[in-house]
Each structure stands twice: as structure tokens, then as C-alpha cells.
Amino acid sequence: MEDTTDNTIDNDGKILIFVRAYEKRGEGINAFIAYKIETQVSKIPGYTKNHFEVWRRFSDFLGLREKLVIKYQHKGIIVPYTPEKSISSLTKTKLTAGEEHSESADKRSRLLERFLRRIVLHPRLAADDDVRDFLSFEGDLPKANFTSTFSGNSVMKMFKSVGDAFTKIAFPMDENDRWFEQVHSQVEELEELMTRLQTHIDNLVSYRRELASADEQLSKTISLLASSEENTALAKTLSRLAETHERLSVVEKHESEQDAQQLAESFQSNENNTSKGDFTCEQLQLMSVLKEVFYERVKGWQNWQNQQQTLTKKRELKTRMELSGRGERISQCREDLRDSESKADEMEKDFLVMSKSIRDEYMRQVKQRREDLKQSIIGYLEALLESEQHTLEHWERFALEAKNQ
């Protein structure tokens, strides 16, 4: 049932969300990963406590997003994506015995946490009943029927998307709003720039990992050289150098992980791409959702134009009935005409309301993107400074020890 209320949270309200842990539950084909979600609430109506801890499986996240899309996307509200369901992760979960504290599971936890935080940043979505139940209801949620990896609903949605694309081509929108024309161009340009930036960030992360691996191999080689060196002083110096490169390898590996978390996950488009990280993924996803919302506006306009065509036909029919003197049908034609006029007026109103909502959503997203970019860059620079400080300390320690030999 569609939520027709316009509830929002107050500016003083705050929701903090953390995905604290995850664990494997069930065995074999019935195995799944459950995530522990901790929520801290302040001045939000509808919540009975200030602190909640619940366990949710991945399908619950998919179900929440689907419910929000059904209720809000046609109104012009941006509902962020969940991480995509990974076939490889699903297979590992069902076939691996015991808990799997893997890199992919850690990454999915981070992405799910970011998804929930993005949801509650929106005043309308944060006040939604389904969001509140997801964060606060301690029992299991009803299993969604549209979250399987290959569901009939997924196939139907795929065909619907293809049908929508053909409809868009066959019935293009006559855009008369200069603001929307400019925003469409800006989004396309920004998406292209983000994609290029994503490539460069991927290369940076890859280079850091290669450097860490090279330092590790160099450390082993120098260590072997030290073990075969007959000069005691030189052997000790080489051993210290090997230890230094081993420590540098740890620093560089940590730095590559920080680069991935601070930058790449925000740019990558799904969790299956394991080389990417947090700012680019998220922003590209949000731009994809924004495009979907733009197309909802196109569909609203198309429905309005179709109704206008229907209205024109009914007016022509009424005129023919009046000219032919068929009084027995004129009354019905007039009633049908009034219904069509009412529907056309309602669709025009819905289109204008949606257009305003999309404007507001776009401006809110632009403001949030600036804040996200600021936080990502600050976090990246702080992590980089910390890594460089550790690198300097390791080399200074080696230099001091080498001088004392």
C-alpha cells in the first residue's frame, strides 16, 4: 500500500547507524550472512528507545530498498542503491564452512552501512515506517519475495526496463524547462568525469598494492643476502634493511586499503568490482538513481500527454454526438469528458509536483556531494599523512641503527 503521508524528521533529529559485525548462519544451501546493525536515535518520533541492535540478512536490505522505491521514486525522491548481489559471494557463503571474515564480507558491511546512512540522511526516508521497522524491530522481518538472485520478478523488471527504453525512444519528451536541460547535461558530464576519476583511483590503489608486494619481495631477498654475508656488521645492516622494507610493505598495504575505502568504494558501481573503493562508487550509483528519477518525470509527462490525447478524442466525440442530434449519448459523453478533464488536470498537477521535487532532490544531492567530497579528501589526506609519517619513522630508525654499526 502506498504511503501518502509527507512525514519528515525535524532538523534537530539525528540517527547514527553502524554495522558492527556479521556472522554466517545456517548450513549448505540455506546458509546466509547476517549483519549486526546498531542504531542511535535522538529526537526522532516513532522510536521507542534511543538505542537499538538488530540482525539483518542481505535480502532484508534489498527488500527495504524495493519498498522505498515503490513508495517514493515516482514522486521524484532519490532512493540510493544497495550493493549488488554477488554470485561469487553467495556461492562462498553457501559452500564455506564456518564464519568467513573475508575482505569481501568486510567490504559489503561497509557498503551496507553507507547505504543505511544515506537513507537516513533524507528527511522523508528517515521518517518512513519501513525504515524505522528495519532499524528497530528486533525480530526477523518478513521475507521479501523479490530478492532472489534470479527471480521471476527480476526478469519481469528487465523486460519492463527494455520496454521503457523503447517507449522513451518512440515517444520522446518535448523538454521546455531550461533548468532540466542544463541538469541533464551536467549529470552526463559529471558521470563521465567520475568514471575517468574512478579509473585513476583504481590505478592508484593497484600501484600501492604492487609497491607493497615489491617491498615484501625485496625484504625477503635482502634477508637471504644478509644470511650469506660473512661480514658481521654488513650482515646486521642488511638484516635491518630487510626489516625496514618489511615494515614499509605493511605501511604501503595499509595505505592501499585506506585509498580503496576513502576514495574507490565511493566511486565504484557495485561490490563485485573488488579493486575499487568509497566516494566514486557511491556517487556513480547516486547519479544512476538520479537518471531513473529523471525518467520517472518523463513517464509522468508521457502519461499526461496520453491523457491529453484521450481528452481531445472525447471532445471530438462529444461534438459529433451534438451535431448528429444523438441526445441519448450526449449525457454519457459529457460525463466521460468531465472525467478525462479531471484526470488530465490531476496528471498535470502530479507532473509539476514531481518536477519541483526532483529540483529539490537534485539541489540536496549537490550539497551532500560537496560535503562527501570534502570528507573523503580530508580522510584521504589524513591517512596519507599518517602513512608518510610511519615511512619516515622507519627510515630514520634504520639510518640511526646503520650509523651505530
- The pTM of this model reads 0.77
pLDDT value, residue 168:
53
Greater model confidence, 27 or 239: 239
Helix (H, G, I), strand (E, B) or coil at 61: helix
Distance of CA 104 to the CA centre of its chain: 16
Number of structural domains the chain divides into = 2
pLDDT band at 153 (very low <50, low <70, confident <90, very high): very low
- Quick one: average pLDDT of 274-285? 63
72 and 153 in contact (C-beta within 8 Å)?
Answer: no
Query: Sheet harboring 51-57: ordered strands across?
Result: 14-25, 32-42, 51-57
If you search the block for the grid coordinates 615494515, which residue do you land on? 247
- 145 within a domain of the structure (yes/no): no
- 88 within a domain of the structure (yes/no): yes
pLDDT band at 4 (very low <50, low <70, confident <90, very high): very low
Helix ranges (H only) for 2-136 are 58-72, 87-95, 103-121, 123-126, 129-136
Write down which residue in 116, 138, 160 finishes a domain: 138
Residue 277 has pLDDT above 70, yes or no: no
184, 325: one domain: yes
- Rounded to the nearest 10°, the torsion over CA 353, 359, 364, 365 is 120
pLDDT value, residue 54:
96
* Residue 11, CA distances (Å) to 15, 42, 284, 302 in order: 11, 11, 28, 36
227, 132: one domain: no
Greater model confidence, 71 or 266: 71
Residue 265 has pLDDT above 80, yes or no: no
Greater model confidence, 203 or 269: 203
120, 223: one domain: no
Q: Tens digit of pLDDT for each residue in 125-149?
A: 998 999 999 999 988 888 766 555 4
- 172 within a domain of the structure (yes/no): no
261 and 110 in contact (C-beta within 8 Å)?
Answer: yes
Residues 6+ apart with CB under 8 A from 44: 9, 13, 14, 15, 126, 127
The CATH number of the domain holding residue 285 is 1.20.1270.60
Nearest to 246 by CA among 204, 215, 267, 286: 215
- Quick one: average pLDDT of 158-183? 66
What's the CA gap between 163 and 166, in Å, rounded? 5
- Residue 69 per-residue DSSP state: H
115, 181: one domain: no
251, 400: one domain: yes
pLDDT value, residue 258:
86
80, 191: one domain: no
- Residue 170 per-residue DSSP state: H
Write down which residue in 138, 163, 192 finishes a domain: 138
What's the CA gap between 378 and 373, in Å, rounded? 8
What's the CA gap between 220 and 223, in Å, rounded? 5
Residue 107 has pLDDT above 70, yes or no: yes
What's the CA gap between 355 and 391, in Å, rounded? 53
66, 129: one domain: yes
Amino acid at 341: E
119, 204: one domain: no
The CATH number of the domain holding residue 119 is 3.30.1520.10
CB count within 10 Å of CB 143 equals 10
383 and 277 in contact (C-beta within 8 Å)?
Answer: no
Segments forming the whole domain that contains residue 375: 177-405
Q: Among 28-32, 184-188, 293-297, where is mean pLDDT lowest?
A: 28-32
112, 237: one domain: no
Q: Tens digit of pLDDT for each residue in 294-329?
A: 999 999 999 999 999 999 998 998 888 888 876 667
- 404 within a domain of the structure (yes/no): yes
pLDDT value, residue 151:
41
User: Which range, 222-236, 265-279, 323-337, is most confident?
Assistant: 222-236
What's the CA gap between 262 and 65, in Å, rounded? 24
- 158 within a domain of the structure (yes/no): no
User: In the predicted model, what is the mean pLDDT of the chain?
Assistant: 83
pLDDT band at 235 (very low <50, low <70, confident <90, very high): very high
pLDDT band at 12 (very low <50, low <70, confident <90, very high): confident
pLDDT value, residue 116:
95
Greater model confidence, 400 or 264: 400
205, 300: one domain: yes
249, 336: one domain: yes
388 and 295 in contact (C-beta within 8 Å)?
Answer: no
pLDDT value, residue 392:
97
pLDDT value, residue 95:
53
pLDDT value, residue 41:
92
What's the CA gap between 320 and 318, in Å, rounded? 5
pLDDT band at 262 (very low <50, low <70, confident <90, very high): confident
Distance of CA 105 to the CA centre of its chain: 16
User: Which range, 194-198, 245-249, 311-315, 373-377, is most confident?
Assistant: 245-249
84 and 62 in contact (C-beta within 8 Å)?
Answer: no
pLDDT band at 267 (very low <50, low <70, confident <90, very high): low
5, 83: one domain: yes
pLDDT value, residue 275:
36
Write down which residue in 109, 138, 167 finishes a domain: 138
Query: How buried is 161 (Cβ within 10 angstroms: 0-12 exposed, 13-18 middle, 19+ buried)?
Result: exposed
- 169 within a domain of the structure (yes/no): no
Residue 166 has pLDDT above 50, yes or no: no
Q: Tens digit of pLDDT for each residue in 331-384?
A: 888 888 999 999 999 999 999 999 999 999 999 999 998 998 888 888 889 999
What's the CA gap between 9 and 255, in Å, rounded? 38
- 160 within a domain of the structure (yes/no): no
- Quick one: average pLDDT of 211-224? 96
What's the CA gap between 117 and 38, in Å, rounded? 12
What's the CA gap between 399 and 405, in Å, rounded? 10
